[in-house]
Amino acid sequence: ATPLSVMVGTGKGAQAGILIRSAEALETAHKLDTVVLDKTGTITAGAPVLTDVHPADGIEEDTLLRLVSGAEETSEHPLAGAILAGARDRGLAPPAVGDFDSITGKGVRATVDGHALLVGTARLLDDAGVDTAPLTPVAAELSVQGKTPVLAAIDGRPAGVLAVADTLKEDSAAAVADLQRLGLTVVMITGDSTRTAQAIAARIGVDRVLAEVLPEHKANEIRRLQDEGRTVAMVGDGINDAPALAAADVGMAIGTGTDVAIEAADITLISGSLSGVVTAIRLSRATMRNIR
Ligand code: ADP
Ligand code: MG
């Protein structure tokens, strides 16, 4: 590769809001055949909103939301922010929390107002021996709508289901179609439930969905795709995405994402929009054509 054409390519990228860290990243991007997109904050806007509160029999809606918001108060997860804002909008102040535990990729455990709260995925509640059967139909219905169900248990008993929904970024579907037109396989990866993931995948038309992936397993999924002989780009924004960005042949961080993700990435997409992925790959292909 001539240094000059790489310099020109890198310069054109910068003009388009695509920061390319190395000549190698620009060169590797033209060989990509698979793009893995993180869901939350990459495909979606990453600003979720509380949409539903469904208490189990015998529990008041406000009581459920108040206790759950208490459990989420010190969590840094975007879902927690949505639940706290939702409670605030209804004039509910979260009670003080006793001990608090964050279970990565699953939810939170906390003592609120003297009650033991568990808030998160069905797996989190199942693992703790809570009978989730009464909550399953509601959770399934919410998932089919593309919402993320948040299950709650109070003192070991199923207490209800909340739902949080995130909007798709405006150009996510168009970017997926463009990538497919360039011949790439597009995969969505998420810690969210399979049903929710599939509902969102159907809206933007990805080829493959990897759901219920724990944060520490995202990098393994990238390696598994590489073992299939694929050359893989990973696009993500979160702290959790950093190992997967590093494992990918080309890691692309969303510019609005965390510093940790940006540091782990080979390419940063300043605009935060997925059309940057398309532009980066086109640019790499054009650059490599000029070199040969
Ligand atoms: P993503 O891959 O979408 O960024 P995470 O790996 O952070 O998701 O979390 C996976 C799932 O765990 C979430 O979709 C949610 O169901 C659950 N979860 C994680 N943290 C919390 C929390 N603080 N409160 C409720 N649920 C949570
Ligand atoms: Mg994420």
**Is pLDDT of 292 > 80?**
no
pLDDT at residue 131, as a whole number: 98
CA 152/CA 172 separation, integer angstroms: 31
Length, in residues, of the chain: 292
CA 234/CA 175 separation, integer angstroms: 15
243 against 292, higher pLDDT:
243
Distance (angstroms) between ligand 1 centre and the Cα of 166 equals 13
Average pLDDT of the residues of the chain: 94
pLDDT at residue 228, as a whole number: 97
pLDDT at residue 290, as a whole number: 76
Q: Atom 13 in ligand 1: which residue has the minimum CA distance? A: 192
Closest CA to 258 of 247, 245, 248, 249: 245
Ligand 1 site residues (CB inside 6 A) read: 39-40, 72, 75, 77, 79-80, 105-108, 119-121, 148, 150, 190-192, 215, 238, 240
Tell me what the mean pLDDT of segment 116-120 comes to: 98
Specify which residues 108 forms β-bridges with: 102, 119
Closest ligand, as measured to the CA of 78: 1
Q: Global pTM?
A: 0.87
- Using an 8 Å Cβ cutoff, are 18 and 30 in contact? no
pLDDT at residue 238, as a whole number: 83
CA 257/CA 18 separation, integer angstroms: 14
pLDDT at residue 6, as a whole number: 87
Q: What is the DSSP track for 14-52?
A: HHTTEEE--HHHHHHGGG--EEEEEIIIIIB-S--EEEE
Count CB atoms within 10 A of the CB of residue 3.
Answer: 8
Specify which residues 208 forms β-bridges with: 187
Q: Atom 17 in ligand 1: which residue has the minimum CA distance? A: 106
Query: Three-class SS of residue 251?
Result: strand
**Is pLDDT of 94 > 70?**
yes
Question: Of residues 38, 52, 178, 266, which has the active-site annotation?
Answer: 38
Q: What is the number of the ligand 1 atom nearest to the C-alpha of 196?
A: 14
Distance (angstroms) between ligand 1 centre and the Cα of 2 equals 45
pLDDT at residue 2, as a whole number: 77
pLDDT tens-place string over residues 147-174? 999 999 999 999 999 999 999 999 999 9
pLDDT tens-place string over residues 217-241? 999 999 999 999 999 999 999 888 9
pLDDT tens-place string over residues 266-288? 999 998 899 999 999 999 999 98
Query: Three-class SS of residue 93?
Result: coil
pLDDT tens-place string over residues 25-80? 999 999 999 999 999 899 999 889 999 999 999 999 999 999 999 999 999 888 99
| Percent of the chain scoring above 90 in pLDDT | 85
Residue 135 tokens, joined? 């909550």
pLDDT at residue 109, as a whole number: 98
CA 283/CA 82 separation, integer angstroms: 38
**Is pLDDT of 20 > 70?**
yes
The distance from CA 219 to its chain's CA centroid, rounded to whole angstroms, is 14
Q: What are phi and psi of 18, to 5 degrees?
A: -120, 110
pLDDT at residue 1, as a whole number: 59
Specify which residues 119 forms β-bridges with: 108, 152
Share in percent of the chain as helix, strand, coil (round to 5): 45, 25, 30
The three-state DSSP-derived secondary structure of 157-177 is EEEEEEEEECCECCCHHHHHH
- Using an 8 Å Cβ cutoff, are 187 and 209 in contact? yes
Q: How buried is residue 60: exposed, middle or buried, by Cβ count under 10 Å (0-12/13-18/19+)?
A: exposed
CA 253/CA 260 separation, integer angstroms: 9
pLDDT at residue 141, as a whole number: 96
> Torsion angle of alpha carbons 251, 254, 258, 263, nearest 10°?
40
Tell me what the mean pLDDT of segment 98-121 comes to: 95
215 against 127, higher pLDDT:
127
Domains in the chain and their CATH numbers? 3-45+167-291 (3.40.50.1000), 49-165 (3.40.1110.10)
pLDDT at residue 257, as a whole number: 78
Residue 52: active-site member:
no
The distance from CA 141 to its chain's CA centroid, rounded to whole angstroms, is 21
